[in-house]
Amino acid sequence: MGRGNLGGGFALLILVVSSIYQAAAIFHPISDSHRSAALDLFTPVHHGSFSSSLEEAYEALRTFEILGIIENKPDVGAATCHTVSETFRSTSSTSKDLYHASKVNSILKCDVDSKVFEGVVSRLQAAVSDAGSLLDFYYSIGSLVLIKDRTSKEDLHLVDAEGVFHSIKALSQSDGRWRYSSNNPESSTSAAGFALEALAGVVSLASSEIDQSMIGTTKSDILKLFDSIEKYDDGAFYFDEKVVDASDHQGPLSTTSSVVRGVMAFAAVASGSLNLPGDKILGLAKFFLGIGIPGDAKDFFNQVNSLACLESNRVSVPLILSLPATVLSLTKKTPLEVRVNTVLGSNAPPLSVNLVRASNSGSKGASIIENQELKFDPENAVYILDVLPKGVDVGKYVFVFEVVLHDSELKKVYVTGGQTQVPIFVTGVIKIDNAEVAVLDSDLGNIEIQKKLDLAGENAVSLSANHLEKLRLSFQLTTPLGHAFKPHQAILKLIHETKVEHIFMVGSSGKQFEIVLDFLGLIEKFFYFSGKYDMQLIVGDAVMENSFLQALGNVELDLPEPPEKAPRPPLPVDPYSRYGPKAEISHIFRSPEKRPAKELSLAFLGLTFLPFIGFLVGLLRLGANLKNFPTSAVPATFAILFQLGIAAVLLLYALFWLKLDLFTTLRTLGFLGAFLMFVGHRTLSHLAATSAKLKSA
Amino acid sequence: MAKVSIFKAVITLLLPLVCLSFSPEEPTDRRILVLVDDFSLKSSHSIFFNSLRSRGFLLDIKLAEDPALSLQRYGQYLYDALVLFSPSTDRFGGSLDLAAVLDFVDSGHDLIIAVDASASDLIKNIATECGVDFDEDPSTVVVDHGSYAVSESDGDHTLIVSNDFIRSDVMLGETEIQAPVLFEGIAHSLNAENSLVLKVLSASPSAYSADPSSKLSSPPTLIGSAISLVSVVQARNNARIMVTGSLAMFSNRLFRSGVQKAGSPNKYPKSGNEQFVTELSKWVFHERGHLKAVNVTHHKVGETDEPLSYRINDDLDFSVEIYEWSGKSWEPYVANDVQVQFYMMSPYVLKSLSTDQKGLYHASFKVPDVYGVFQFKVEYHKLGYTSISLSKQIPVRPFRHNEYERFITTAFPYYGASFTTMAGFFIFSFVYLYQK
């Protein structure tokens, strides 16, 4: 983080250059947004008390106290006070519990019996003399100090203040940091904060003056500690632990907060001044303000409490210069306002704010305003530069302010950080003139069609061109003061019907902006797509109040046919089209074979009976008879059986059609066939014998 | 003895974790690893983290270079989702690297990536693997002179507003986001070849990606609505990824900040960020839009049992129940675009299912007159929902020999002819044999 010790003027130059970037961060003091955030963050949870633990209750109450929120509802106070007196009475309370109880008590001023305090004090005195670790000292001494303040007992003293001072001091390290206990070799920066706060407590509890040499060495410890301070690019200073132990890493906020509390507590009790550099104190204030509004209750408390320490410290009170608005509009004639407050947002002592110089951030050096004092408006406590000087045009500027305290005595109390650089945007309406679009003949550049455009209003020109022609778009931009204006963004967009976009930067010479699209060279870029192209002109800049995206109309392009291997652009896909139901599919069934009408089939069925009927009629006409039927019993039986067999076979065929399957039919036919063979043979041989007898007879 | 008791203690400690973890029955994530560059993010983004905690997630916030980082132990993933709020990390600590993050996603876990202008190559590479390409030039941010947030201290127009949301209730909730979303960060574009990645929040047509402090020398690579501010991916394994170029979007500062779009008279006391981010995180962590299909049944019309096969031209009923996970329970899913396919190489029948509004979907259709091994397929892909892809195999056979039509009227003349001939033969046999 540190900026390296480059020598001499070169380092100074770098400082000047880099401080432009430094100035990018503007710090605002605590404001109402902090107050409303605090109300959101610290809400009573447990039946009117703030939290389960006194530590959290103290953090909430202390935050509210600092921010000046009248939130001490009686029920909150009563419930918490009850816990406090419980803690004081209980003999099993540790010194840490007592410490937090005393802290809460110092705010709520609970009604605790003085006898209870006496017991607590004697227990704490014993704890101090038995203390082995830094935190033991910290909590028990801290509690004693708070009880002393609360009960205004002048005779409350530490028994062996010098000895305690020595045993705490014994834990300190050569680099200004402290160890938590003698058997813990790791030194810590936050421990230094606790130690200093404990030492401050010892000093205020001492019955006689503590040895000045010891106070002196502690002061030099503090200075050594400040040597290890770290720095952000925006000018904020902070402390962090050297060894980052991931398991209980507290972060720079709590470390810095601990150190600030410790140093400021020590500075408050130690006689003589602590020669801490003012810019580091201001840097610490910037660090806490730069956090913004923490979302964590502990962080919020650490931030607000540390700022409160800085607000009323004996070393130097930081004053913060802030601007409610860094964007100034020329059209609205916004006045330049500057506020100077303490970190908690209260008013600063009488002082004047000078605008040392203001220069355009683009062209370094050329200063447009120099040494102008801002007018003080006591009603709103702001310093105002009413009218921007005539020469200020739209653009980005760096304004350098200087805070000068009126009373030279106050210069020792307050630290203002010298000159403050602030980036300022001056915005205004840019005048747009002579906008026109034209189609040019390629060879001679003769204008074929020319259309005027009104870039402030609606445009719907409709042009057509082929690949041998050119399209020219031109317009002029001038600042309110009549200078040429170059916007950051001046882009012509051509959008084909297929949503394929092409962008072109519009270049300028002076005020005149012009782009000429030679379609002959753009055929490939346009993927040989003929058709309608919508034209859009986008002109925008951070300081241009009338930045616009304007549809100009369209141009119908007639480009040659693409060759075979012309590349195709990736067509944009609509994400919604990938989803949604598909078209339904229903199966097309094979159509059944065409059949004649039922009646026709039945008519033919009738026709098939005709030969049979004709046969019967013929038999009757011919005089058919059955006279040859055997007459004797046995042959007649066989003949009957034979005829019945034939009838059975025919019936079997009918049944085969109606219901039987082939296997049953064949099996039955097998039996019937054998039977028919037998009876048929007997019948036929009988008939043959009869007819032979007749012939021979 | 001591070892056994330690083992028991470990088991009892781990058991609730195991039970709480992601499962198909309870698809919401439980354990989330948040990686940050700096613990101050805990405080500056606390509203987002607290909203996750209040929704029951167990957040584990760690530094990205924590040497003990690990996503899995003994082959089991320790987390259900990963939130990368560490844009400037060049190298993760522990066993975590690009491949480990991708494996994590490949095994169906969710990921949120938020970067800012300090985005490192590592984080950009992770995003690239997810189908999102951040602007390669590290000095660029999204600038929009057309739709920036009116602010008295930001003159760069890098704090932009957008309300060009994707139209999807399942991703952004049913309540419309009224106030526009504030965005401050870098641009990305979607990989055209990745069909799974979607733009959730797009920039306005006048936005472009450039370095606001230097003059534009060449046309910006990303411009207009090609710039995506927030994108999501739902992978084929239903892992969900959210990528955004603005870490500040999740911060308390922008959550609380009021918003007024330049040139618009509407002033909102609170930006849409909190609603947008909360709703989208509900989607990413599977509190919404997770579907399951159960009880796939089919049977012949008029029957209730599932047959082993169908004959061609059978009429059948198909039904399936679809439920949506609401974060706490499975609720009936109601839609009118669920379709079933009767599929063999290609769909023979594709029919929309009708719903009874209680999660039951039903369709009936005739089996086609083609036999073979078919499948009932439900392939349901809807924007924002997990996809349902289920299939059930069923053979279809032709008519059996005795199942064809037996008495065809058209054939009656043939039968008539046969039977009269037979009758004639019978009578003729009498006449022939016994005529005198």
pLDDT digits (tens, 9 = 90+) for B241-267: 999 999 999 998 899 888 888 888 888
Query: In Å, how far from its chain's centre is CA B133?
Result: 21
Domain-ending residue, one of A315, A332, A360: A315
Query: Which of A255, A322, A337, A585 has the most B C-beta neighbours within 10 Å, making it the best mutation to test the interface with B?
Result: A585
Helix (H) or strand (E) holding A531: strand A531-540
Residue A560 C-alpha, separation from nearest chain B C-alpha, in angstroms:
26
Look up the CATH number of the domain holding residue A27: 1.50.10.20
pLDDT exceeding 70 applies to what percent of chain B?
A: 94
CA distance A596 to B62: 85
Residue B161 near residue B261 (C-beta atoms within 8 A): yes
CB A193 within 8 A of CB A256: no
Please answer yes or no on whether B425 and A602 come within 8 Å at the CB atom: no
Same domain for B257 and B382, yes or no, is no
State the average pLDDT for chain B.
Answer: 88
Q: From residue B67, give the alpha-carbon distance in Å to each of B34, B76, B95.
A: 15, 19, 8
Q: Which of A363, A502, A547, A590 to mutate to test the interface with B (most CBs of B within 10 A)?
A: A547
Within 10 angstroms of residue A126's Cβ, the number of other Cβ atoms is 13
Q: Is B53 within a domain?
A: yes
A587 in any annotated domain: no
Confidence of residue A15 (pLDDT cuts 50, 70, 90): very low
CA distance linking residue B20 with residue A591, whole number of Å: 59
Average pLDDT over residues B385-395: 91
Determine the distance in angstroms separating the CA of A171 from the nearest CA of chain B, rounded to an integer. Answer: 29
Report the pLDDT value the prediction gives residue B373, as an integer from 0 to 100. 95
Quick check: A1 pLDDT over 70? no
Decide if B287 contacts B327 (C-beta within 8 A): yes
Does residue A346 share a domain with residue A284? no
Strands A419-427 and A327-329, how do they pair? parallel
Residue B14 lies in a domain: no
pLDDT for res B51: 92
Segment B362-390 mean pLDDT: 91
If asked whether residues A75 and A32 sit together in one domain, one would say yes
Contact criterion met (CB below 8 Å) for A85 and A116: yes
One domain for residues A291 and A346: no
Question: In chain B, pLDDT over 90 holds for what percent of residues?
Answer: 51
Do residues B309 and B264 both lie within one domain? no
Residue A582 has its nearest CB partner, among B198, B350, B402, at: B350
pLDDT tens digits, one per residue of A77-90: 777 888 888 888 88
A661: nearest CA partner in chain B: B402
d(C-alpha A483, C-alpha A508), whole Å? 13
Locate B291 and state its tokens.
């579907």
Distance of CA A470 to the CA centre of its chain: 46
Is B231 within a domain?
A: yes
Which of A325, A542, A575 is facing B153, going by the closest CB pair?
Answer: A325
pLDDT band with cut points at 50, 70 and 90 for residue A363: low
Q: What is the pLDDT of residue B115?
A: 93
Residue A457, domain CATH: 2.60.40
- Stretch B128-155: mean pLDDT: 88
pLDDT digits (tens, 9 = 90+) for A442-452: 777 777 788 88
The neighbour count for residue A390, using CB atoms within 10 Å, is 8
Is the domain of A270 the same as that of A329? no
Distance from CA of residue A88 to its chain's centroid? 46
SS3 A666: helix
pLDDT at A246 over 70: no
Same domain for B98 and B234? yes
pLDDT tens profile A379-438: 888 888 877 777 778 888 888 888 888 887 777 788 887 788 888 888 888 888 888 888
Which of A371, A405, A427 terminates a domain? The answer is A427
Pairing of strands B240-244, B110-114: parallel
Instruction: Examine the domain organization and report whether B378 and B277 are in the same domain.
Output: no
Residues B368 and B396: their CA atoms lie apart, in Å, by 9
Domain-embedded: residue A604 = no
| Residue A582 with chain B: CB contacts under 8 Å | 339, 350
For residues B415 and B413, give the distance between their C-alpha atoms in angstroms, rounded to a whole number. 5
Identify the three-state secondary structure at position B333.
Answer: coil
Asked if A471 and A516 touch (Cβ cutoff 8 Å), the reply is: yes
| Higher pLDDT pick, B361 / A156 | B361
- Residues B210 and B88 both lie in one domain: yes
Q: Alpha-carbon distance A543 to A430, whole Å?
A: 9
Cβ atoms of residues B176 and A506 within 8 Å: no
Of B284, B307, B337, which one is at a domain's C-terminal end?
B284
Give the nearest partner residue to A596 out of B351, B366, B410, using CB atoms.
Answer: B410
Looking at the complex, report in whole angstroms how far the Cα of residue B2 sits from the nearest Cα belonging to chain A: 26
Contacts of A573 in chain B (CB under 8 A): 192, 195
> What's phi and psi for A489, nearest 5 deg?
-125, 115
Query: Is B238 in the same domain as B109?
Result: yes
Does A6 reside within a domain?
no
pLDDT at position B49 over 60: yes
Nearest to A326 among B152, B216, B416 (CB): B152
Going by C-alpha positions, the residue among A237, A588, A283, A578 that lies closest to residue A417 is A283
Give the CATH number, domain containing residue B346.
2.60.40.1930
Instruction: Indicate the number of domains in chain B.
Output: 3
First-residue to last-residue Cα distance in chain B: 121
Chain B: nearest CA to A538, how far in angstroms?
7
Q: Per the domain annotation, does B165 fall within a domain?
A: yes
What pLDDT is recorded for position B340? 93
Whole domain around residue A36: which residue ranges? 22-315
pLDDT value at B148 more than 60: yes
pLDDT value at position A545? 87
What's the pLDDT score for residue B22? 55
Report which of residues A50 and A299 the model is more confident about: A299
Query: Is the Cβ–Cβ distance between B249 and B297 less than 8 Å?
Result: no
Which residue of B218, B349, B435 is in closest CB contact with A628? B435
Q: Given this model, what pLDDT does residue A613 score?
A: 93
Q: Are residues B260 and B118 in the same domain?
A: yes
Residue A335 scores a pLDDT above 90: no
> What DSSP state is assigned to residue B250?
G
B434 vs A627: CB contact, 8 Å cut-off? yes
Q: Please, are residues A378 and A350 in contact by the beta-carbon 8 Å criterion? A: no
B350 and B222 both lie in a single domain? no
Nearest CB partner across the interface for B195, out of A576, A578, A596:
A578
- Lookup: tokens for A342: 């303490």
Pairing mode, if any, of strands A230-231 and A237-238? antiparallel
pLDDT tens per residue across span B337-348: 899 999 999 999
Shared domain for A377 and A458, answered yes or no, is: no
A154 CA: distance to closest CA in chain B (Å):
42
Q: Does A630 score more than 60 pLDDT?
A: yes
The reply to whether A7 falls in a domain is: no
- Do A240 and A353 lie in one domain? The reply is no
* Mean pLDDT of chain A, nearest integer: 82
Say if the Cβ atoms of A585 and B42 lie within 8 Å. Answer: no
Residue A54 lies in a domain: yes
What CATH number is given to the structural domain containing B279?
3.40.50.880
- Tell me what pLDDT residue A47 has: 52
Q: Which of A128-137, A508-517, B328-337 has the highest mean pLDDT?
A: B328-337
Count up the domains in chain A and report the number: 4
Q: Assess whether A351 and A307 both reside in one domain.
A: no
- Which residue(s) pair with B366 in the sheet? B315
Contact between chains at B368 and A643 (C-beta distance less than 8 A): no
B4 located within any domain? no
User: Cβ separation of A578 and B408 shorter than 8 Å?
Assistant: no
| B249 and B329 assigned to the same domain | no
Per-residue pLDDT tens digits for B34-47: 999 888 888 889 89
Q: What is the mean pLDDT of residues A482-501?
A: 87
Contacts 24+ apart (CB under 8 A), A605-612: A605/B412, A605/B413, A605/B415, A605/B416, A606/B416, A607/B413, A608/B413, A608/B416, A608/B417, A608/B420, A609/B416, A609/B420, A611/B420, A611/B424, A612/B420, A612/B421, A612/B423, A612/B424
**Domain limits for position B112:** 20-284
Q: What is the pLDDT of residue B248?
A: 92
**Taking residues A241-268, what's their average pLDDT?**
78
pTM: 0.82
Chain B interface test: which of A289, A587, A665 (most B C-beta within 10 Å): A587
In the A/B pair of chains, how many CB contacts fall below 8 A? 239
Ranking B19-28, B74-83, B248-257 by mean pLDDT, the lowest is B19-28
Same domain, A453 and A379: no
Question: Which is nearest to A554 in space by CA: A496, A514, A513?
Answer: A496
* Residue A40 shares a structural domain with residue A96: yes
**Cβ within 8 Å, pair A601-B155:** no
- Does the residue B3 lie in any domain? no
Is the model's pLDDT at B319 over the cut of 90?
A: yes
What residues in B contact A589, CB-CB < 8 Å? Answer: 313, 366, 368-369
Query: Regarding beta strands A548-558 and A461-466, do their DSSP bridges make them parallel or antiparallel, or are they unpaired?
Result: parallel
pLDDT > 90? residue A25: no
B125 with B104, same domain: the answer is yes
**pLDDT tens digits, one per residue of A172-198:** 888 888 888 887 777 888 888 888 888
Question: First-to-last CA distance in chain A?
Answer: 151
CA distance A291 to chain B (A): 8
Backbone angles phi, psi at B151, to 5 degrees: -145, 150
Tell whether A329 and A210 lie within a shared domain.
no
DSSP type of residue A576:
G
- Residue pair A390/A292 in contact (Cβ under 8 Å)? The answer is no
Establish if A422 belongs to a structural domain.
Answer: yes
Contacts of B210 in chain A (CB under 8 A): 488-489
Contacts with B410 from chain A: Cβ below 8 Å: 595-596, 601
- Measured between alpha carbons, how far is A669 from A648 in angstroms, rounded to an integer? 9
State whether A341 and A310 are in the same domain.
Answer: no
Evaluate whether residue B181 is within a structural domain: yes
CA-based max dimension of chain B: 135
CATH number for position A397: 2.60.40.1930
Q: Say which amino acid occupies B415.
A: Y
Query: Is A542 close to B195, i.e. CB distance below 8 A?
Result: no
Cα–Cα distance, A382 to A345 (Å, whole number): 12
Neighbouring residues of B25: CB distance < 8 A, sequence distance ≥ 6: none
Report whether pLDDT(A17) > 60. no
Residue A224: strand, helix, or coil: helix
Residues A31 and A154 in one domain: yes
Task: Report d(CA A202, CA A156) in Å as an integer.
Answer: 12
SS3 B149: strand
Domain membership of residue A11 (yes or no) is no
Report CB contact under 8 Å: B413, A607: yes
Is the same domain home to B335 and B211? no
User: Is A216 a residue whose pLDDT tops 80?
Assistant: yes
Closest partner residue to A299 among B43, B210, B419, by Cβ?
A: B43
Q: Report CB contact under 8 Å: A327, B155.
A: yes
- Residue A8: its pLDDT value, please? 36
Q: Are residues B381 and B410 in the same domain?
A: no
The residues pairing with A241 across neighbouring beta strands, listed in sequence order, are: none
Sign of CA dihedral A126, A128, A129, A133: positive
C-alpha angle B133-B136-B141 in degrees, rounded to nearest 5: 95
Nearest CA to CA, how far is B351 from chain A (Å)? 5
Q: Given B266, B284, B302, which residue is the final one in a domain?
A: B284
> Is residue B75 included in any domain, yes or no?
yes
The least confident of A335-349, A528-542, B296-310 is: A335-349
Residue A8 inside a domain? The answer is no
Q: Per-residue pLDDT averaged across A629-653, rounded?
A: 90
Cβ-based contacts of B146 with chain A (< 8 Å): 538, 540, 547-549
